[in-house]
Structure 1
C-alpha cells in the first residue's frame, strides 16, 4: 500500500466505481469545471478567467467561458493521464484516470466525464472531501491466479447461459409479460449496453485472466445494490472479494433464475389445467392491477410529481445567434435546439458550417409544419444530430492506442487467418506507427508543451492519418476476414460497404436533400452505424464499381471518381456529402478496400491506395485451414459433436486436389459441409456409426472427383504424345492458382512455312509464337546446333515447307500472357530436329529475338502447379531467383518458427544476406532456397538466362555446335 498525493472527488449519490471498468458520469458544468482544477498539466488551457471566482468556493460560477474551458480541458485530457480518487461516501474508493470530458448531445448541457477505474485507494477520513487534495493510500494488486479458477469460470458461464435463456424465453412466452419481476429483469438484462458489457465480460472469462479483477468487473456489470458495491470496493483482500462476489452475485443470480423458472413452470402448469373461468379471473386481475397503476401515474403527472431536473438550462448569450431563437414547440424540436446550443463546442464542425446550421434551424422554426420543406429540414437535422461528432472508438469501449500490444495484434490476426504473412506484417507496421505517434503526443503533453491552440479555443490533437489499403486477390483467400481481424485487434467498430454494381455517384456522396426520398451516402451512413468517427470501413469489391475503365456504362455520374475524394488522404479530412452539404472528417477512418481484379481500377484511384496482393493458398495451406478451421466449423453448424467427423490430412488433401480447383477455400468448405451432412444422416439412422472418413468413402459422400489432378490425367497419355513437339509450360490461372500448360506442335508438308494456332490463345501469346518461329529459323539457318551442314540444310528446307499447327489443350479456357516464349520456341525446335523433350520438365519465361530469357510473375503458384502435375525439373528465368529467395524466407523460416530471421518482428537478416550473395554472384547459384524447394516440392530448379541454357538443361551437352563460336549467341 503506497501513499500518494491525489485529488479526491466525491461521487454523486448511489455511484461507486469498481476497478477495471470504464465509467461515464453526467455532471453539471460547474461541478465538471471544479473537477479539472487540481491538475497542473492543464495550466496551458486558459482557465484563469474561468475559475477566477473560485477562491474559497466549492463550485465554479456558470459562464460561457466555463463551457469552453471544460471542452478545451477535455481535449487536453485525451493525452494527459489525470488521476483522481473517486469516493462513494466511504473511505475506500477507486483511483481512476480521467480519459475524456465532453458535453452530452442528448441531455440539457450535462457534462459527461469518462473515468477509467484502475485500482483501490483509501483516505484517513471521509469528511470534507469535496474536490480536495489528500494523501491517498493505493492498494497495488498483482495478477494472481486461484486454484478454483476453472470452477469460477464454469459458474459464470452458467449465469451467462441463464441470462440469455431468460431473455429468449421472455421474448417468446406471453405469460412472462404478466410478471412484474420478469419485466423488470428483462428491462435490465436486454438493454444493448448490458448485453455488450456481458458479452465482453464472457469473452474475458474464456481467457486466462486475473480472477480478482474479473470479480470487480462482474460486480460492476451485474445489477446489484449500491451498498453491495461499496462493500465489494472495501474488500482489499482478493480472496475475500472472490468469495463475496461468488456468493452474493454469481451464485445468488443462478439460484434466483432457478427459483423463477420453477415459479414460471408452476404458472404454466396452472394455466394449462385451469378452466375458462379461472383463466378469465387471472387475466381480469392483471388488467385491474394495470389500470390502477396507470391511474396512479396519471395522478402523479397531474400533481406535478415529475422527476427532478438535474441540470440547469443553458443561460442566455452562450451562442452568438441562438439566443434569439424562439422556444421550440415539441420535444423533438427541443432536441434540435439543444444540439444548436451545444454546436460551438463541437470541434469537428467548422465555424462556417455552424452558421449555416443555425440559419437552417431558424428557418425550420419559421416554416409551418404543413409545408414539405419543414419535413425536409426535420429529416436533415435528425441525421445531423445522430452523427457521432467528436466521438472516438475509445469513448465507446475501444482500446487506447497506447495500450496496443503488437504481439497480441499479431496473434489475433493469426487466429482469424492462416498464412498471409506479408499482409499481416503491413498491418502491424501501421499499428506500430500509430502507437508511436500516440506515445510522442503523450510525452509532449506531459512535458507541459501543450499546443497554443488549446488556449481559449476548442481544438483537437493533430490526427495520425489512417492507411488506405487495397487487398487484391482471388475470391476466398481471406480479404474480408483480415479487415474484420484488424477491427477486432483495434477494438474499433467494423462496417462493410459493398460496392459491387454501384452505378450512381449518389450512393457514395449522398443525394441532395431537396430530392424526394433523399438520404446520405454510404460513408456517412457507416459512420452513423459505427457511432464513432474512427471505425474500420471495408469497401468491398471496389473493382466492381461502374466507372474508371468501365466509365462507358455509367448511368448517374462516375462512382469511381467519387471514391477519389474518399480515398485521398490529402482530401478526405473535408469530405462533403451531398445530403449534409458540409465537410466531414474521414482522416481517422481506417479504409480497407478489396478487389479481385485490381487492374480494372482507374489509375488515379489505384495510386491513392497501398496495394497488397493476397496470393492463392497452396494445397498444404488448404489442408491446415480445412483441418483447423473449416471442419470444426462445419461440424458445429450441422449439430454434430466435436469428434463426430474425423478426417486425416490425406483425405483433406484428396478433397483439395481432386474436388476443388480454386484459389480460396469457399468450395472446399462447401465440400466438407456436404460430407458432414451425409455423416449427420448416418448418425441418425445407423447404430454402428463410425466417425472416420476414409479415402474410399469420398465417392460415397461427394461423388467422383470433379477435377482430377494433372498427375492423374498424365498417367493415361498415350506414348505417341510423348514424342517431339510437345513441351510442358507453366501458367498462372485466373483463379489465382498455378498449373501445367501443355503446348503441342505438329508439322504437315506444305508449299511454304505457316503457323496455325488453336486453344483460344491471346494476342500476347500469338506474338510470342511468331517470335519463336523466327528465332528457331535463325538457329537452323546459322546452324548454331553444330550439326552436319547437309543435314542442317535438309532440316531447314523441310522446316520452311511445313505447316505447323500449335495447340494448347482445354480450348474452353482463354489463355494469354508473356511467359510461354521459351516453351513454344523449344516446341518448334523439337519439331524441326525431330527430338523429343522429356515429359518431367516444365518451363516458363518470355524470349526475345536475340534469345534472351525475360522474367515472369507468379513463381510461387507455378512451382506449386508443377509439383501437383508430377514434374521433376522446372526451368525459371535467372532474374526470378529473387522470388525463390523471398518465398524461402517467408514460408520456410515461418514454418520452422524462426521469427528472428524473417518474421513480422524480425530484422530480415537472412533475406538481406541471400540477396547480397545473389547480386555478387555472376553464375547460377544452387543454395538453401533451391534445396528447400527440392525438399518441399520435389522440384529441381534450373535457372536460364538465354535460350542456349534451355537447350543445355533439356538435352544436356548433345548440342554444343557453334553456339559460342558465332558472334551472335542464342
Structure 2
C-alpha cells in the first residue's frame, strides 16, 4: 500500500514512522481516558456494536481506550477504520467522529464464514426462551437491589423474604410447621416465574392465614341469648326454647355433645338465616355463611388437589380463614338444594365427615392437605324441604322445624319490624308517612300468599316508595295509607282466586296442600261422564304418587258404591277427576281422602259442604292415614275461609305445634275411616242397603262410626 503510519508514544511524545504494507494488526500503548470527552462513551458503544455484529470479537468492557485498541487489532473495522488509523490521539478521533452519522457496518457475505456465523447467531437469539430473558432481568434486579443496600438505600424485602418471615412468625402446629419450612425451602430454589412457585406461594399464604389455635371466648350468659332471640324474632316460642336448650348444653363445662348439628327446616322467609345470625351474636362468635344451593362437586367441600391448575381450598377452609377463629358459627344454607354430578363426586357424602363429631376433628382438605380440627365449630344447617335432605346427613342432625307465620303474627311482625325498617330505607319520617292497621291486614290477606314475610316486606317497601314520590311532588304532605288506597297503589288483590267455593256443590271438595311457601286449600273436582265400567281420567299436572292416590281413591269409591247400593250407576258412566291450578305440579298421597269424597259425591249426587276441608292418605280398606305439614295446612285452611278441617287421628300429636290462634278459630276433627269423612263432609248422610234372605231383624239396624245404617225393605226377598 505504501502508506506511512505515525505512532505516538504518550509517555515521551516521540513519534516513529512505520510502513503499513500488509499490516494486519497494530500494537499501541493504552491511551489514558483523560484524553476523551463525554462523547467517548457513546462512540465506543457504537464501535462495540459494529464489531459485535460482524462477529469479529466480543468486547465486554465499555472503556473507550480498550475499545479503540481492540478495533485497531481487528479486521474490517467498518466505516470507523479511517479515523482509527489516521488520527493520532483519541480526543482528535472523537471530534472527527462527529457528523459521520455512525453508519452501520456493511452486511457480510452470506456465503462467508462471517455471514454463516451471523445467520446462526441471529437464529439462536430469536429462539431464546422468554423465561430465560425474564430470569436475566430478575438477576439484574437482584444485583441492583444488593447494590442499593450496600449504598444504604433499602428497597424493601422481596416476596420470598416476606413469606419466610410470615412462616417463621406464624403459630403453627409442629407437624404443619415442618411441611411449611420444607415448602419454603423448595420455593427459594425455584425460578420466581416458574408455575410451581406460584402454587407453593399460594399454599404457604393460606397456611399462615388460617387461625391455628385461635379461639373466640364464648358468651355463657343464657339470659343474654334469650334477650337476643326475643329482640330479633317475634313468635316462634317453641323454636326459641329448643335453641336455648341447645346453647345451654353447649355452655356446660363437662358436656360432651359439643359437635351436635342443628338444622332449621321451614318455608322461605320465616327467619332461618336470621336465627343463625342471632345465635352467633348471642354466643359472641363469628358467623360465616356457605351457600350450598346448586353445589354439585365434592371439591366445593374438600377443595381441589394442588396438582390442578387454578386449584382452590374448599368452602369449609375458606370460611375458617374468613372467620379468623377455630370456633365460628358456620351456616350451611339450603343444604337440601345440593346435587351431584357424574364424575365430580357427591358433596353430600363429603359433608358426612364435616358434620360427624367423631370424625371432623381430623378433617383433611385436598388442597391444604393438613388435618384441621372442626370439632369446636358450631354448624347450623338450613333447609326448605325436610324430605330432600340426604338421608345420611339427616341422621346426623337435630331437626328444628319452623312453621309458617299466622296472619296475626305477620301483622305484629309488620308493625314492629317491617314498617319501621322500610321507612328507614326509604328515608321517611313518622310525621311524613303512616300505614293504617286495616291497610296492613289487607296487604297480608289479599296481596301476599306465603308462609314467611319476605313478600310482605317487599310490598310494604313498594307502598313506602310511592309515598316518597308523592311527598317529593307535594312537599310538606303527610301520606296516610288505608285499605281503600291499596288498589290505586298496588292494583287488584293478588290472591282473590284461591278462596273456597261460594256454595255447597256436587263433586267439589276442599283438599289441603303444603309446599315450601306454606299451606293452602286445593280444590279437587270430580264429574261423571257417559261411558261404561267407571273408567278413571285424572288431570291437573299430577305427579306419580298423586296419580296412584287417585287410583286408590277410585277403587275405594267403587267399594263405597257397592256398600251404599248405587253400584248400578257405575256401569253407565266414567269419572273425571281434576285438581285446580293445573299449571302447578302436585304430588303426594295426602289428597286421598279428598279425591275419594269428590268421586263418591259425583256418583251419589250428594253435595259437599263448602266450608269443610280435609287431608289424609287413603288405603284400599278405606282407612285415613297420617300426613305431614299439618300446621301449615291448617293455617292455609283458616286463611281461605274454612270452618272445619278433618285430619287423620294419627296426627293428633302434631296439633301441639299449631298456634293456639289457629286452633281457636278452626274446628279440627280427627277421623280414621272414609265413612267418618263422608258423614262430616256431605250435606246429608248416605244410606246403606243390605240384602238379606229373610225378614230383617232389629239387630240389622245399627249405627256404625257415625253412619246411619238403614235397611231398605224394597231390596229384601222372602226366605
TM > 0.5 between the two? yes
Kindly indicate whether residue 609 of structure 2 is the aligned counterpart of residue 821 of structure 1.
no
Instruction: Compute the displacement of 1:621 (Å).
Output: 1.7
Kindly indicate whether residue 647 of structure 2 is the aligned counterpart of residue 876 of structure 1.
yes
Change (3 A) 1:696 1:555: farther
Give 1:502's aligned residue.
Answer: 295
String of CA shifts for 1:270-301, please: whole Å, max 9, x gaps.
xxxxxxxxxxxxxxxxxxxxxxxxxxxx9xx9
TM-score of the two chains, using structure 2 as the length reference: 0.70
Give 1:196's aligned residue.
Answer: none
Give 1:529's aligned residue.
Answer: 322
CA distance in structure 1 between the partners assigned to 2:625 and 2:444 by the alignment: 33
Change (3 A) 1:765 1:517: closer
CA distance in structure 2 between the partners assigned to 1:510 and 1:820 by the alignment: 45
Kindly indicate whether residue 411 of structure 2 is the aligned counterpart of residue 615 of structure 1.
no
- Equivalence map 1:211-360=2 (5 Å): 333=161, 336-337=164-165, 339-340=167-168, 346=172, 349=173, 351-360=174-183
- Equivalence map 1:14-29=2 (5 Å): none
CA distance in structure 1 between the partners assigned to 2:214 and 2:290 by the alignment: 21
Change (3 A) 1:835 1:571: same
Give 1:731's aligned residue.
Answer: 513
Change (3 A) 1:496 1:371: same
Q: What secondary structure does 1:746 align onto?
A: strand
CA distance in structure 2 between the partners assigned to 1:726 and 1:370 by the alignment: 76
Give 1:601's aligned residue.
Answer: 389
Q: Is the 8 A contact 1:504 1:554 kept in 2?
A: no
CA distance in structure 2 between the partners assigned to 1:958 and 1:342 by the alignment: 82
CA distance in structure 2 between the partners assigned to 1:418 and 1:433 by the alignment: 24
Change (3 A) 1:836 1:358: same
String of CA shifts for 1:256-282, please: whole Å, max 9, x gaps.
xxxxxxxxxxxxxxxxxxxxxxxxxxx
String of CA shifts for 1:392-435, please: whole Å, max 9, x gaps.
112xxxxx44xx22122122112222233343223212211122
Give 1:6's aligned residue.
Answer: none
Kindly indicate whether residue 673 of structure 2 is the aligned counterpart of residue 885 of structure 1.
no
Change (3 A) 1:955 1:374: closer
Give 2:580's aligned residue.
Answer: 809
Q: What secondary structure does 1:767 align onto?
A: helix
Instruction: Compute the displacement of 1:332 (Å).
Output: 5.4
CA distance in structure 1 between the partners assigned to 2:663 and 2:211 by the alignment: 57
Instruction: Compute the displacement of 1:847 (Å).
Output: 2.0
Give 2:93's aligned residue.
Answer: none
CA distance in structure 2 between the partners assigned to 1:368 and 1:754 by the alignment: 80
CA distance in structure 1 between the partners assigned to 2:236 and 2:584 by the alignment: 29
CA distance in structure 2 between the partners assigned to 1:686 and 1:724 by the alignment: 56
Change (3 A) 1:831 1:501: closer
Instruction: Compute the displacement of 1:772 (Å).
Output: 2.4
Kindly indicate whether residue 241 of structure 2 is the aligned counterpart of residue 470 of structure 1.
no
Q: Is the 8 A contact 2:266 2:404 kept in 1?
A: yes
Q: What secondary structure does 1:842 align onto?
A: strand
Q: Is the 8 A contact 1:942 1:953 kept in 2?
A: no
Give 1:648's aligned residue.
Answer: 436
Give 2:87's aligned residue.
Answer: none
Q: Is the 8 A contact 1:657 1:709 kept in 2?
A: no
CA distance in structure 2 between the partners assigned to 1:423 and 1:807 by the alignment: 38
Change (3 A) 1:585 1:797: same
Give 2:417's aligned residue.
Answer: 629
String of CA shifts for 1:876-913, please: whole Å, max 9, x gaps.
222222222343xxx44xxxxxxxxxxxxxxxxxxxxx
Give 2:524's aligned residue.
Answer: 743
Change (3 A) 1:957 1:585: same
- The counterpart of 2:236, out of the listed 417, 420, 429, is 420
Instruction: Compute the displacement of 1:635 (Å).
Output: 0.4
String of CA shifts for 1:834-880, please: whole Å, max 9, x gaps.
21122121111122222221122222122222222222222122222
> C-alpha root-mean-square deviation of aligned residues, in Å?
3.1
Q: What secondary structure does 1:492 align onto?
A: coil
String of CA shifts for 1:941-969, please: whole Å, max 9, x gaps.
22212222223324588457579959998
Change (3 A) 1:692 1:709: farther
Structure 1 residue runs of 5 or longer lacking an equivalent are 1-297, 305-327, 395-399, 442-462, 548-552, 784-791, 893-931
Kindly indicate whether residue 704 of structure 2 is the aligned counterpart of residue 704 of structure 1.
no
- Equivalence map 1:321-720=2 (5 Å): 333=161, 336-337=164-165, 339-340=167-168, 346=172, 349=173, 351-369=174-192, 371-394=194-217, 400-401=218-219, 404-437=220-253, 440=254, 465-547=258-340, 553-554=341-342, 556-686=344-474, 689-708=477-496, 710-711=498-499, 714-715=501-502
Give 1:25's aligned residue.
Answer: none
Kindly indicate whether residue 668 of structure 2 is the aligned counterpart of residue 941 of structure 1.
yes
TM-score of the two chains, using structure 1 as the length reference: 0.53
Q: What secondary structure does 2:458 align onto?
A: helix
CA distance in structure 1 between the partners assigned to 2:319 and 2:578 by the alignment: 52
Instruction: Compute the displacement of 1:757 (Å).
Output: 1.5
CA distance in structure 2 between the partners assigned to 1:597 and 1:581 by the alignment: 34
Change (3 A) 1:469 1:669: same
CA distance in structure 1 between the partners assigned to 2:622 and 2:376 by the alignment: 53
String of CA shifts for 1:319-377, please: whole Å, max 9, x gaps.
xxxxxxxxx9858536635744776xx4xx3x544433333233334445454434433
CA distance in structure 2 between the partners assigned to 1:724 and 1:809 by the alignment: 16
Kindly indicate whether residue 636 of structure 2 is the aligned counterpart of residue 865 of structure 1.
yes
CA distance in structure 1 between the partners assigned to 2:516 and 2:199 by the alignment: 49
Instruction: Compute the displacement of 1:694 (Å).
Output: 0.4
Give 2:101's aligned residue.
Answer: none
Instruction: Compute the displacement of 1:680 (Å).
Output: 0.5
Q: Is the 8 A contact 2:385 2:516 kept in 1?
A: no
Instruction: Compute the displacement of 1:709 (Å).
Output: 5.9
Q: Is the 8 A contact 2:266 2:402 kept in 1?
A: yes
Q: Is the 8 A contact 1:759 1:807 kept in 2?
A: yes
Change (3 A) 1:944 1:367: same
Instruction: Compute the displacement of 1:649 (Å).
Output: 3.0
- Equivalence map 1:62-101=2 (5 Å): none
Change (3 A) 1:885 1:521: closer
- The counterpart of 2:533, out of the listed 746, 752, 760, is 752
CA distance in structure 2 between the partners assigned to 1:662 and 1:872 by the alignment: 20
CA distance in structure 1 between the partners assigned to 2:431 and 2:259 by the alignment: 44
Q: What secondary structure does 2:646 align onto?
A: strand
Q: Is the 8 A contact 1:636 1:642 kept in 2?
A: no
Give 1:35's aligned residue.
Answer: none
CA distance in structure 1 between the partners assigned to 2:195 and 2:616 by the alignment: 68
CA distance in structure 2 between the partners assigned to 1:466 and 1:575 by the alignment: 14
Instruction: Compute the displacement of 1:696 (Å).
Output: 0.9
- The counterpart of 1:762, out of the listed 524, 528, 543, is 543
Q: What secondary structure does 2:181 align onto?
A: helix
Q: Is the 8 A contact 2:304 2:313 kept in 1?
A: yes
Which structure is larger by alpha-carbon Rg, 1 or 2? 2
Q: Is the 8 A contact 2:431 2:478 kept in 1?
A: no
Q: What secondary structure does 2:512 align onto?
A: strand
Instruction: Compute the displacement of 1:574 (Å).
Output: 1.0
CA distance in structure 1 between the partners assigned to 2:688 and 2:198 by the alignment: 90
Change (3 A) 1:560 1:776: closer
Q: Is the 8 A contact 1:477 1:663 kept in 2?
A: yes
CA distance in structure 1 between the partners assigned to 2:423 and 2:343 by the alignment: 46
CA distance in structure 1 between the partners assigned to 2:432 and 2:476 by the alignment: 13
Q: What secondary structure does 1:393 align onto?
A: coil
CA distance in structure 2 between the partners assigned to 1:807 and 1:660 by the alignment: 26
Change (3 A) 1:758 1:515: closer
Q: Is the 8 A contact 2:289 2:333 kept in 1?
A: yes
CA distance in structure 2 between the partners assigned to 1:464 and 1:366 by the alignment: 48
Change (3 A) 1:303 1:564: closer
